Structure 1
Amino acid sequence: MNYPIPVNSQEIAALRQKPINEELIATAIAGVVHIARSKGQSLEDLTAEVLADDSLLDFESRRWLSDIVSEAWKTL
């Protein structure tokens, strides 16, 4: 990857300044997994956050993202 994996929320936020592409999205997901683990969160905690209702994504999109986060958790 051309981007280092973010280790805090400020580094995640800084990714907003980069052009969006698949690699950037993968980096952001890896960062979220890393940060969640460093806070002692479980995979269940993280997926619950992803699945929580919000105004950005519909349920199907949140479910899809939750599956991707779960795969990242297992891979990293």
Structure 2
Amino acid sequence: MNYPIPENPQGIFEMRQQPVDEELVAAAIAGVIKIVRSQGQSLEQLTAEVLADDTLLDKQQRRWLSQVVSQAWDTIS
């Protein structure tokens, strides 16, 4: 992977400066999972946040992303 997995929210924020590709998205998801776990949050809490209504993603996109996050949760240690 060309991108390091972020260890903190600042690392996630700094990723915004990179061109978006599959590896960047995967590193961002892995970083969010690591950060959420370090804060003692559960997969259920994270998916609830992903599924929360916002203006960035529509309902179908949020459901798809929550499924991706759930699958990644099980594979990221």
TM-score for the superposition, normalised by structure 1? 0.98
The 4+ residue runs of structure 1 with deviation greater than 6 A are none
Once the two structures are TM-superposed, the CA of residue 2 in structure 1 deviates from its matched residue by 1.2
TM-score for the superposition, normalised by structure 2? 0.97
The one-letter amino acid of 2:12's match is I
Root-mean-square deviation (CA, aligned residues, Å) is 0.5
* Unaligned runs of at least 5 residues, structure 2: none
* Unaligned runs of at least 5 residues, structure 1: none
For these two proteins, the number of residue pairs brought into alignment is 76
Taking the aligned partners of 2:24 and 2:57, their CA distance within structure 1 comes to 19
- Percent identity of paired positions between Structure 1 and Structure 2: 67
The one-letter amino acid of 1:58's match is D
